[in-house]
Structure 1
Amino acid sequence: MASQTFKVPSSEVPGYSAIYRNSLFKDGTQGSELSHITTAYELFQHHLAIAPKTEFMGTRRFDPADGFLDEYEWLTTSEIAELVEDFGSGLEHVFAKYAADAKGHGTQQPLGMYANNRYEWFVAEFGAFRSRRYTVGICDAVEIQAAEYTINHSELRVIACSIDKIPRMLDRMAGTPSVRVIISMDPLNCSRPNHLTQAFCAETAGPSLRKRAAALGITLLDMDEVLEMGRATPTVAQPPAPSDICVMCYTSGTTGVMKGVLLTHDGMINASRSSHFSFRYTDTTYLSVTLLAHSMDRYVVYMLMYGGVRIGFGTGDRTRIVEDIQVLRPTVMVGFPRLLVAVYERMAAATIRADGMTGVLSRIAYQCKRQRLAATGELHHPLWDRVLFSKLAAQLGGRIKAVMTGAADLKPEVIDFFRAALSCDVVQGYGQTETSAAGTIQRLGDYTSGHIGVPNAGSDIRLRSMPDAGYLVTDLPCPRGELMIRSRSLFAGYFNDPEKTQATMDGEWLATGDVVQINATGTLSFISRTKNLVKNNLGYCISAERLDRIYAQHPMIQSLLVDGHQDYNKIVAVIVPEPTEFTPWARSVANMPDASFEELCAKPEVAKELAEVLRIYSASVGLSVYEQLGAIYIEPVPFTERRHLFTSLLKFKRTAAIVHYDVQLKKLYKEVGGLI
């Protein structure tokens, strides 16, 4: 296969690899196509121009009598544009009257956004852009303290939020003294009932909340009131410049304290346009479920707006995501690995893992489709799609053309299954908040797995050697090192933190903190976070994340936490078994045919035998003696049931997990003490 990246000639310098670019954009730019769009506000105007009467944003109809959610109701781009104009004008009056002294970045003021994904978020956001304001997403999906931290750190005066957030804000107002105005996205008289307002009494919600807010010195309005202010006294739009801040997104906190990342309009547009050039989707239907408080979903929405898009918003209930998908029938699906794995587990259990004739036929069909795809590059199969896979695809609406994912590696078997079951492209990408969510992306038509694609259009990447960890740009056959990115999509800095900003940059290059390798095809494969590399007491460097991924390929492993320590030469792990594979095997080992899953997990002889099975497995996949597990603890409770071990983006927090399992890990290290 020809290389998918272009190696810039004579670009190597000591300690750094050559510079690599997307082979379709060898000059390092995105060309002149669509270059007239320079801000998110202009992108909205572009979408208005190409699809003024088209359904743009939709919400599921709610019946307050029985709490039933029905089909999607839609607003056209023109209707959204009218709301943006009126809200933008009204917002000017709100700031002028209640928060004229609001502080932000330079001369720009921030608007806080505190809600699940919904069309009112975009109305408020584009309304804020209309007067050069930027938005700050607030997230409490993991813990309420994160919301307080965001509000205080960004010094928010005005916050637009859903009605369910208002009581908790008022309860904790003493901890957020900067807030002066709260704008409810839902009518305070509950005149437009939805699944959030059903918890409030229409006769008392508004008066009660307003009274509480007034007692705290807070002005409480709803969006309808702000819209009416704008209609009554329209203002002249003051659109942003490309260099203005578009949004401030807070990092997910996987490695420490959250940081406020300042993303410019130029950066967000550069990122979204680069991905548009990779996919060029038109007339897309998209389900927005990835939290808008972070950069990923906004990046995808902006990417799709270039070609026209219908955006349906989920209910905000993760248990109803599949239902939302079935009702909306999206053509593009974006999800983080843990969400996609949950869908995969459900579908695989009913097909390729099923007992009896269903399982036999499903496995035959699956292998046939995989072989056909590998041999011909053809996603569809004339027999098995009709007999089996069209029914699976129907469970997700039956129209998906592509599944996109990032943030963490998705197991190859999950990728292959989705390609077979849905007859669609499945692509992985890489990005950070600091890169406006862009970085690398897998090409359509590339049906390989185990990598994160190639540089986005207009982005340069290179590697920096890490000699202490043993990753060098001179490694053969694949250069390895810390990933560096240079692009117009890079952040403008961390809010009020020039020291951390400077520490993150190497000249004009972002030091991502991630170790990758450049494959022969020009694609990149993720190895580890630099902060998760551990050197053992013999000087050998261990990549715990890499080992997590390798051991997780074993059929008896659902998930695990590999850990190494500088005082030991053996590594240990906390393992969550895959019940369907583990239980019958463990019953045989323990000679307990009726034992429960939990009982088996607690048996020392089962742990000892599983460690031996994994030792043999590790040798079969080429791991060194230092990468073999010295001892394991079997955890019957899935990591996913411990919410504090995950960020709001469902990223696994290794540091938090190590703290959580401190007692078990110490016992394991005591067990393996001594030299090999």
Structure 2
Amino acid sequence: MLTDAGGNYSPIYRHPKYKSGTHNNEFSDITTLYELFDHVIKTYPKKEFIGVRDYYPETESFGQYAWITTTEAAEAINDLGSGLDMVYAKYAPEINLTTGQQPIGILAINRPEWLLTELAAFRSRRYTVGVSDIAGVDSAEYVINSTEIHVVVCSMDKIPRMLDRANKTPGLKVIVSMDKLDCSKPSIATQAFSKDTVGILKTKAESLNIALLDMDAVIEMGRLNPTAPSLPKPSDLCTICFTSGTSGTQKGAIHTHEAFIHATRGAHLSLELYNTTYFSFMSLMHIFDRYAIYTFMFGMVRVGFFSGNTAKILEDMQVLRPTVFLISPIILNRMYDRIAGATVGATGISGVLSRFGLKSKTKRISTGRGFRHALWDRLVFDKVASKFGGNIKLMVTGAMSLNPEMQDFFRAALSCNVIQGYGQTETVGGGLIQTTDDRTNNNVGVPNPGVDIRLRSIPDMGYNVTDKPSPRGELMIRGKNVFSGYNREPERTQEIMDGEWMATGDIAKINSDGSISLVDRIGNMIKSASFLWIEPAQLEMIYSGHHLIKSVFVYGCVRAYELVAIVVPEPLTFVPWARSIAGKADADLAELCKDKRVAKKITQELRTLASKHHIPPPEMIGAVHMEPVPLEQINREFYTLSLKIRRHIVNQHYKARFDELYSTLDSIIDPKILIKRNN
């Protein structure tokens, strides 16, 4: 902690081992991401580097991981970079007048070609832009046009839509397929294609005056006609990464190589991990997964990409046996539902042993006596750990707060530390993280080396840096990892900058041990009729912990003293329980969700849970609407690609339903609702 910043701000906080606010010149010779890759080649030659599972189209199954080494990757990147130089020279020689460089779009799920393309782009001072083909907020048209992309590298399954939208992306000149256009190398992305269907795509591309090539052909062009590298400078653009869009349209965050290196070097200095095996499945279009990969490169990493089938993620992990695993809390919550249901939530002797083992291991871990237990691991938890490959040494979560009970469960179940971190697209994913020896819960750790944080009072919401015992306010971040601004949006850039400091929009508090805990996003706060500000994310985390429930979305407004909620039940536990309430032994999940008696009873269950957690009346749920399927299956725009909820979109979608729920309550004060109910 530094001296008081005065007035509306808290003191400045830094990493306890890097109080100077710098990296102490460690890895100072690495100033760009290409130099980081060069560091890997020279320090770890011929080491396994990038891997993906073999695919067998006859059975639509996957085999073992096949690897290319650091040396082989360097050769491929050099040839691909040379080939791209020729492609740009022939089809898209224009230089972006704003950046002085050339962008390249990448559209695909996580696979080796994604990373190879990005590194090949860096070889020639180009910068990457991750493109999404989800309609609506995350539209490819907006990203391609706003960043003036002329060349897109994508998987074969993305080509048809790229061609269909060509009239809306007039600047697009070249599509490079990651998959061979002659279909001689099958992958999960080529299942629906044949030589005939690819022929149709070629004809359509030609009619649109778009060059359609494949990556192997571009690599061969580069191999036969090598070009001299034109390496980036620290100040050069590295990537434009579009935000998740939780509060509106996407914004393209501009990052230099200096910013990316500062963020990843700081994370490496904090975690100090070497020779890791990393499982990549969080979308590379966003910042989190790339932040992780480049962080682990400092100490050498094997990157094993998922098979492309999300249903096989655990199978992929069992084959890869990763040592480090990054995951968002919402995905971890789904895994927890299944795993906890079969262990600590089970009936009979199995459940008794699991619960006793969890209690014993949690106490052991919290007192620093290690993550392994000879008895309970053999009886219960080794079976759970094996589902994740049985070799996890560290699990890291981000994007939102993790339920403390879930954090303890996975620490015990995987016999490793589970830590939380915090960052945003605008900070290259870096900001704060728990240290690897931290066993506490309900916080996101301390600032990364080289990152300054402080709080800014939000007095109209009752959060002040003078609050006792914990200062509270909006979290602000300063450091070289902070972005250069939003692409073509100087006004929106100015909105979140306070001098050198970036305002995150998240409310945080400083704990007595120096760690930082998140409270909620400012824009997500609910103001009830009691004039209290309510934090929905924290409540949803508590309510979703009920054994009958998979997830909860709470809603409130100034016209009511209570909250209402959308509840998604956990089928395994909910169905038998609800059948007994409804008196319908054969009723399915959808029918039970419509039963008013079940809805009333689940509301009572939530209020009982609220009382156990000492939740005050304004934060209790007065009525619920039950959905038989998760919200993301109802409307994929409810969540960003990084699985953050877009509250404003969910609120709009369920507005009529929320009004209907409020019409049944006595706690409302809106006359229109009262008239509607009484009539």
Q: Same fold (TM over 0.5)?
A: yes
Per the alignment, residue 676 of structure 2 pairs with none
SS at match of 1:484: strand
**Cα offset, 1:580, TM superposition:** 4.6
**Cα offset, 1:84, TM superposition:** 0.9
Per the alignment, residue 230 of structure 2 pairs with 238
Kept after mapping to 1: 8 A contact 2:559/2:669: no
Residue by residue over 1:54-108, the C-alpha shift from the partner in whole angstroms, topping out at 9 and shown as x without a partner, is 1111111123333331111111111110111111112112112111124364201
Per the alignment, residue 59 of structure 1 pairs with 52
1:80-99 to structure 2, matched below 5 A, reads 80-99=73-92
Alignment of 1:222 with 2:221, yes or no, is no
Kept after mapping to 1: 8 A contact 2:590/2:628: yes
Q: Distance in 2 between matches of 1:195 and 1:587?
A: 41
Per the alignment, residue 113 of structure 1 pairs with 106
Residue by residue over 1:253-290, the C-alpha shift from the partner in whole angstroms, topping out at 9 and shown as x without a partner, is 11100011101111111111111112221111111111
Q: Distance in 2 between matches of 1:105 and 1:43?
A: 26
Q: Percent identity?
A: 47
Residue by residue over 1:344-378, the C-alpha shift from the partner in whole angstroms, topping out at 9 and shown as x without a partner, is 22322322222333222222222221222223441
Of residues 42-51 and 542-551 in structure 1, the stretch that sits farther from structure 2 once superposed is: 542-551
**Cα offset, 1:581, TM superposition:** 4.7
Per the alignment, residue 660 of structure 1 pairs with 653
Q: Distance in 2 between matches of 1:66 and 1:634?
A: 39
Q: Distance in 2 between matches of 1:587 and 1:228?
A: 63
Alignment of 1:173 with 2:152, yes or no, is no
**Cα offset, 1:582, TM superposition:** 4.3
Kept after mapping to 2: 8 A contact 1:104/1:110: no
Among candidates 222, 233, 243, match of residue 251 of structure 1: 243
Amino acid at match of 1:117: N
Per the alignment, residue 298 of structure 1 pairs with 290
Aligned length: 668
Alignment of 1:35 with 2:11, yes or no, is no
Per the alignment, residue 412 of structure 2 pairs with 420
**Cα offset, 1:606, TM superposition:** 3.7
Change (3 A) 1:534 1:388: closer
Alignment of 1:544 with 2:536, yes or no, is yes
For the aligned residues, what is the CA RMSD? 2.1
Residue by residue over 1:128-187, the C-alpha shift from the partner in whole angstroms, topping out at 9 and shown as x without a partner, is 111111000012357696222211221210111111111121122111111001111112
Alignment of 1:11 with 2:4, yes or no, is yes
1:181-580 to structure 2, matched below 5 A, reads 181-201=174-194, 203-204=195-196, 206-580=198-572
Amino acid at match of 1:123: L
Change (3 A) 1:105 1:398: farther
Amino acid at match of 1:74: W
**Cα offset, 1:230, TM superposition:** 1.7
**Cα offset, 1:532, TM superposition:** 1.0
Kept after mapping to 2: 8 A contact 1:158/1:182: yes
For structure 1, the residue ranges without an aligned partner over 5 or more in a row are 1-6
Kept after mapping to 2: 8 A contact 1:102/1:157: no
Among candidates 638, 649, 666, match of residue 642 of structure 2: 649
Per the alignment, residue 14 of structure 2 pairs with 21
Q: TM-score, normalised by structure 2?
A: 0.94
**Cα offset, 1:236, TM superposition:** 1.5
Q: Distance in 2 between matches of 1:587 and 1:225?
A: 60
1:151-166 to structure 2, matched below 5 A, reads 151-166=144-159
SS at match of 1:419: helix
**Cα offset, 1:535, TM superposition:** 2.6
Kept after mapping to 2: 8 A contact 1:55/1:74: yes
**Cα offset, 1:585, TM superposition:** 5.0
SS at match of 1:61: strand
Kept after mapping to 2: 8 A contact 1:469/1:535: no
Q: Distance in 1 between matches of 2:97 and 2:221?
A: 24
Q: Distance in 2 between matches of 1:136 and 1:194?
A: 24
Change (3 A) 1:549 1:388: closer
Change (3 A) 1:16 1:60: same
Amino acid at match of 1:465: S
SS at match of 1:393: helix
Amino acid at match of 2:238: C
Residue by residue over 1:472-516, the C-alpha shift from the partner in whole angstroms, topping out at 9 and shown as x without a partner, is 111111111111000110101000110000111011100001111
Change (3 A) 1:145 1:286: closer
SS at match of 1:468: helix
Kept after mapping to 2: 8 A contact 1:61/1:71: yes
Q: Distance in 1 between matches of 2:491 and 2:167?
A: 30
Residue by residue over 1:24-77, the C-alpha shift from the partner in whole angstroms, topping out at 9 and shown as x without a partner, is 111111111111101001000000011111111111112333333111111111
SS at match of 1:22: coil
Q: TM-score, normalised by structure 1?
A: 0.94
Amino acid at match of 1:495: N
Q: Distance in 2 between matches of 1:387 and 1:553?
A: 25
Q: Distance in 2 between matches of 1:106 and 1:286?
A: 33
Change (3 A) 1:142 1:345: farther
**Cα offset, 1:421, TM superposition:** 1.4
Q: Distance in 2 between matches of 1:535 and 1:359?
A: 41
Q: Distance in 2 between matches of 1:587 and 1:611?
A: 16
Among candidates 125, 128, 140, match of residue 135 of structure 1: 128
Of residues 187-196 and 397-406 in structure 1, the stretch that sits farther from structure 2 once superposed is: 187-196
Amino acid at match of 1:171: D
